[in-house]
Structure 1
C-alpha cells in the first residue's frame, strides 16, 4: 500500500517537472522519493542533474553525498560534500555548512 502512495507522489512530481523541468525544489523532492523506494540510480541522476543546473541548491549536496556513501562511493561523496560546503559558505548557510562539514569529517575518519 505504501509503495502505491510513493508511486503516486512520484507521478505527481513528474507532472510538476513537465511544466518546469528545472524546478530545483521539485527535482529534489522527486529524488528523495526515489531514494525512499530504493531506486538509487534515478535518485542519483536527479541530484546530479539538479546540482549541475543549480549549484546553489545547498540541501541537495548532503543528500547526494549520503546516497553515494550508501553505495560505497566514499571518495565521490567526499567530493560532493566539499562542493556543498563551498556553496553553503557562499550562500551564508551556516547550518547547511555545518551539516556538510560533519558528514565530511565523519566519512573521512573512516
Structure 2
C-alpha cells in the first residue's frame, strides 16, 4: 500500500471515529483531489460547510470545484460568502485569495451576481 493510500485510509478512519472532525475531512478531500476524485471531495467539503460554516478554508476549494464542474452560480455565491466571512474574521490573506478567485470566475464565465 502506497503512502498516499495509507494517508487516505488513516484520514477515513479518523472521520469514522469522529464524524465531526473537519480537519480530517478537509485533509481527506485534498488527498482525493490529487486522485481526481472530485465528487467525493465536493461531498466532504459540503459536509464541513454544513457542520462548521466558519471553516474558512473550505470556501475557496469548494468554490473552485463548483466552478470546475460547471456550477458557476454556486461558486459565485460561495466566494461571496467566504469573502464576507474572511472580512469578519480579519483574515486578509484568505479574503484576497477569495476575491481573486471571484474575479477570475467573473472573467472566465458569464457570472453575474
For normalisation by structure 1, the TM-score amounts to 0.90
Of 10, 13, 22, 1:12 maps to 10
More helix by share: 1
**What stretches of structure 2 of length at least 5 have no aligned partner?**
109-113
**What is the match of residue 111 of structure 2?**
none
Deviation, structure 1 residue 76: 1.4
Deviation, structure 1 residue 6: 2.4
Of 86, 94, 108, 2:92 maps to 94
Count of residues in Structure 1 that have an aligned counterpart in Structure 2:
108
Could you list the structure 1 runs, at least 4 aligned residues long, displaced by more than 2 angstroms after superposition: 4-7
Q: CA RMSD in A?
A: 1.4
CA distance in 1, matches of 2:65, 2:6: 23
Of 35, 40, 57, 2:33 maps to 35
Deviation, structure 1 residue 19: 2.5
For normalisation by structure 2, the TM-score amounts to 0.88
**What is the match of residue 85 of structure 1?**
83
CA distance in 1, matches of 2:63, 2:4: 23
**What stretches of structure 1 of length at least 5 have no aligned partner?**
none
